[in-house]
């Protein structure tokens, strides 16, 4: 133990300067740490989007944005899922074999999705980039065949798509709607932009 008396003014100055230095370091570190968060530009460039689908009722469609594109999440009714099986002969690419917009393996089925009740597709026509409109009602309607089973109509040039986003034959759109990478985090949470292989 030292016999030197403690200079309280030096001690106070030392504590105050240490605290000020710590606060300053915090201010300097904050922008640095925040650079680890994805920016709005990074999100637009492809960061995954988490979506709560718990409130989507059968027959309803939800639209979210991923990579600056509209992504449709539709909860199909059992009747809409069943109708998909009857359309193969009318479709340009029923098995999603074309490679312009490669379909993930888990969506290479009749309903083009992981879960039959949910369709997940980019809502942009593969012809010239218009956004098709909902034509969920079945039966004869303007610009649609008399035996229409429901789906989507691109009013720009008349391309039609079924409830799996598959394009009908003899239409301007050359390919089915794109199925983005996606996976279920739970029964009510869907992640668009990533899948288990990513």
Give the span between the Cα atoms of 74 and 57, in whole angstroms: 9
Phi and psi at 105, nearest 5°, equal -55, -40
C-alpha 170 chain-centroid distance: 29
Six-digit token string for 31: 């922008």
Report d(CA 31, CA 148) in Å as an integer: 56
Give dist(CA 170, CA 65) in Å, integer: 30
Q: Which of 147, 148, 146, 143 is nearest to 159 (CA)?
A: 143
Helix residue spans in 35-170 (DSSP H): 40-45, 78-84
Question: What is the set of active-site residues?
Answer: 157
φ/ψ of residue 61, rounded to 5: -130, 140
CA–CA dist 8, 48 (Å, integer): 56
């Amino acid at each position: 133990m030292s016999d030197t008396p403690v200079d309280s003014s030096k001690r106070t100055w030392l504590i105050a300067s240490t605290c000020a230095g710590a606060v300053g370091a915090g201010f300097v570190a904050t922008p640095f740490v925040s650079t680890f968060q994805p920016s709005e530009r990074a999100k637009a460039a492809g960061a995954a989007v988490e979506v709560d689908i718990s409130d989507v009722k059968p027959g309803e469609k939800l639209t979210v944005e991923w990579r600056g594109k509209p992504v449709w999440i539709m909860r199909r009714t059992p009747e809409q899922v069943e109708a998909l099986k009857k359309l193969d002969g009318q479709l340009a690419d029923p098995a999603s074999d074309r490679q312009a917009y490669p379909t993930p393996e888990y969506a290479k089925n009749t309903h083009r999705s992981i879960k039959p009740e949910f369709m997940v597709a980019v809502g942009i026509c593969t012809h010239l980039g218009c956004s098709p409109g909902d034509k969920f009602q079945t039966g004869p309607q303007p610009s649609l065949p008399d035996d229409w089973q429901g789906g989507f109509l691109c009013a720009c040039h008349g391309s039609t798509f079924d409830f799996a986003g598959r394009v009908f034959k003899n239409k301007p759109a050359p390919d089915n709607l794109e199925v983005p990478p996606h996976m279920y985090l739970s029964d009510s949470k869907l992640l668009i932009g990533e899948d288990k292989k990513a």
